[in-house]
Amino acid sequence: MAVTQGKGGGGGYALSTLDSLIAWGRKYSLYPFTFATACCGIEVMGAFGTHYDLSRFGAEVVRFSPRQADVLLVAGTINYKMAPVLKRIYDQMLEPKWVISMGACACSGGFYNNYSVLQGIDKVLPVDVYIPGCPPNPEGIIDAVVRIQKILETGAPRASERWPIK
């Protein structure tokens, strides 16, 4: 329960459950961990920069420690040698956590159909939001963050809850 000011200046009450209150708090404090391995990382920088300004959505505090991060933003090509590293970083993140797969390479391997490139990070991680594009616009990253906010808003299950990967 939270006390708020009514429009006319008088006291009012906003009624809520504790869960939705926590979700509301989380919604605007999604700390991303950027796992940038390729040109998508440049677009990520653009999204965090002043022009697109991801901080308008509360997700500008980039944490380069997985233990302090909420969102794993995988931006770029992941090869087979890198996959265990990515998985370990995901495992080190604390619940609740979300995963954004950014760009063609992270989503499906992109045009790297060869011996070395993982054909989509969803082979090793549960993914909440995919961003298509090569590379996607910063708008795509903002849209993905907003979609994670929608997941929080509606209480929809996270990918890791409905998508067990061994």
Partner 1 sequence: MSIVLDKLRAQFPSDVVSTHSDFGDDTALVRRERIVEILAFLRDDPDLRFDFAMDLTGVDYLGEDPRFEVVYHLYSLEKKHRVRIKVRLHEEDPVIDTAVSVWPGINWYEREAWDMYGIVFRGHPNLKRILMYEAFEGHALRKDYPKARRQPTIGPEE
Residues near partner 1 (CB under 8 A): 80-81, 83-85, 87-88, 91, 113-116, 118-119, 123-124
Tell me how far, at minimum, the Cβ of 138 lies from partner 1, in Å: 31
Structure tokens at 15: 């009624």
d(CA 103, CA 151): 21
Tell me how far, at minimum, the Cβ of 12 lies from partner 1, in Å: 51
Would you say 67 or 150 has its CB closer to partner 1?
67
Check residue 31 and report its DSSP letter: -
Structure tokens at 131: 């961003």
The H-assigned helical ranges of the chain are 18-27, 40-48, 83-92, 103-108, 138-154, 159-162
Structure tokens at 22: 């926590």
Would you say 109 or 136 has its CB closer to partner 1?
109
Would you say 67 or 123 has its CB closer to partner 1?
123
Would you say 123 or 150 has its CB closer to partner 1?
123
Beta bridge partners of 33: 72
d(CA 28, CA 34): 17
Beta bridge partners of 100: 73, 129
Q: Phi and psi of 8, rounded to 5°?
A: -80, 0
Would you say 22 or 85 has its CB closer to partner 1?
85
Tell me how far, at minimum, the Cβ of 70 lies from partner 1, in Å: 21
Tell me how far, at minimum, the Cβ of 88 lies from partner 1, in Å: 4
Tell me how far, at minimum, the Cβ of 114 lies from partner 1, in Å: 7
